[in-house]
Chains A and B, each alone.
Chain A
C-alpha cells in the first residue's frame, strides 16, 4: 500500500466513525484526537478497524504511533507494504 493509500484508509476509517468529521483543515503532523474531537474510545475504533480489514495486530504500547496522520502512515507503511 502506498503512503497515500494508507492515508486514505485512515481517513476512511475516521469518516466511518464520525460521518461529520471535517478533514478540510486537518494538519497531517498534528494529533488527530484534538483536531477531530475524537476521544480514546473512538481512537480504539481505528485500531480495531485495521485489525478487521487488514488483520493487523497493533499492540497497546504502539497506540501512540497512531497519534497523527503522518505518524499513522510512518507506522503502518512497513506493516501494509504487501497489502
Chain B
C-alpha cells in the first residue's frame, strides 16, 4: 500500500493536519495507536457516563469579525463553520494566591486590567508597557530562549504579580520549570487573557466526531489500534512505516505528531535534542450530586491557585505538589445545557519517577491515587467550600495514566521543553507537528498540524 501522506497520531494536531490535507488531496492516512482518537484530549466511559480527559477550557476565544485571530484562521483553514462548534464562553476565571491576592479575568480583557489597576496600582504603568511589548512582539520569529520572567519582573517590579501572571500561562502550556520563553508567554498571554476561554456545548467526543466526519467526507482514511513499530528510512527520507502487526505502508510524506523523542525512537536514531526534565501532572475528577452548593468561587470557570508562600512551577520531589494547581468546573460556561452532575477537577504538578516506582505493585499504586484524591480535596474545599460529602464518583489520572494512553514520554502533557517550531527534524519528507512543535492547547495544536502541512507538504505535492 502506498499513500501520499501518512500522519502518525490521531490527536487534535493529527486530525487537523489530516483534514487540511484531505481538503485538497483525499489520499491521507491517519494512524492512531489507541482505540480512540483525541490523544491528550479524549474521553472514557464510567457508569454509563462520558468523562473528558484533557479538555478544561479551550483558549483563544475570538469574535467572528476578528479574522486574524487564531480560532478564526483555524476554522477557515479547515472549512468548519463556527456554528458547528457551538461555542460557550467562560463565566469568569480567577488567579487565587491564598492570603495574598486574587485577580479575576474573563473574555472581556478590561476586567483583568481593572483588577490589576486596583490591586497592584504601583505596577499598572509597567503592566501597560508590558502590553505594548506584547502587542508588537512577533512570537513566531526564530529566536533563542528569552526569559519571560526577567522581562515581566523588570516591567512590573512586583514578584507576586509576576507569579500571578505566569501561573495560568504555565499551567496551561509550559513545559519549562519556573520560566517560559518570552515568545511562548506572548502566545499564551494573548490566548488566555486577551482572547479568553470557551468550550463546545457538547463533549470532546462531539468535537472529535466533527473533525472526523469532515475528514472522512473529504476522503481521508483513519485507522485506530494501528501502532507504528518503526519508520523505514532511506538516508534522510522516510519511505514507509511498519505497523505493529508487520504491515508496511509506503508514503511520499510523513507527519509525526507523537513527540520528537518518540519519533526518533521509531527512526531507531538517537534524538539530537537535549533531554531536559519533563513536567508531569495528576488530575482528579470529583463528580458531585446536582444539588451540591459551592461558595461564590464555585461559579468561576477555572481557578489557578497557589497556597504556598512562593509559587513553584517545577517537578516536585514528592509524588504530588499540592501547593498549587488548577481547579476546573466544566459546567461553568455560559448557556450550557444543565448537566446531570457537577464536576470539580483538580490538577497538580507530579513527579513521574515517584509514580513509576509504584507501577510494579497495583495495590500501592491504587492507594497512592486514593491518597492523591484525598489530599487534593481539602485544597479545593479551601477555595470552594466543603463538597466532600456530595461526591458521587471520583477518579484520578497520574503521569502513568497519561503515558499509557497517549504514549507521551513520562506522561508529560506539554512534551519536550525544547520545541521544534518549524517542524523540521532533519529529514526531507518527515516533519513534526503537535506538542513538540510547540503550539499548545486545543486551538494551538490544531494550528500546529495545519501550519506544518501548509509550510512543508502542500506546496510540494
Contact = CB atoms under 8 A, between A and B. Distances in A.
| Number of chain B interface residues as a range | 10 to 19
A11 interface: no
B73 interface: yes
B67 interface: yes
A39 B459 contact: no
Contacts of B450: 41
A47 interface: yes
Given A37-B67, A39-B68, A41-B454, A47 B459 contact: yes
Contacts of A52: 24
A44 B68 CA distance: 15
Nearest to A51: B24
Contacts of A12: none
Given A18-B67, A48-B458, A41 B24 contact: no
A52 B24 CA distance: 6
A37 B68 contact: yes
Contacts of A4: none
Interface in B76-131: 76-77
Given A18-B76, A41-B450, A42-B76, A48 B68 contact: no
Interface in A19-55: 37, 39, 41-42, 44-45, 47-49, 51-52
A46 B24 CA distance: 11
B451 interface: yes
A45 B454 CA distance: 9
B384 to A, nearest CB: 42
A39 B458 contact: no
Nearest to B25: A52
A50 to B, nearest CB: 10
A48 B460 CA distance: 11
B180 to A, nearest CB: 25
Contacts of A47: 458-459
B4 to A, nearest CB: 13
B107 to A, nearest CB: 22
Contacts of A37: 67-68
Interface string B434-461: 0000000000000000110010001110
Contacts of A41: 73, 76-77, 450-451, 454
A44 B458 contact: yes
A9 interface: no
A42 B20 CA distance: 12
Nearest to B74: A41
Nearest to A49: B24
Contact of B459 (A42, A45, A60): A60
A67 interface: no
B24 A17 contact: no
Contacts of A17: 76
Nearest to A60: B459
Considering residues B76, B451, B454, B458, which has the most beta carbons from chain A within 10 angstroms of its beta carbon? Answer: B76
A30 to B, nearest CB: 18
Interface of A: 17-18, 37, 39, 41-42, 44-45, 47-49, 51-52, 60
29 contacts: A17-B76, A18-B67, A18-B76, A37-B67, A37-B68, A39-B68, A39-B73, A41-B73, A41-B76, A41-B77, A41-B451, A41-B454, A42-B73, A42-B76, A42-B77, A44-B454, A44-B458, A44-B459, A45-B77, A47-B458, A47-B459, A48-B23, A48-B24, A48-B458, A49-B24, A51-B24, A52-B24, A60-B459, A60-B460
Closest 5 CB pairs of A and B: A48-B24, A60-B459, A37-B67, A44-B454, A52-B24
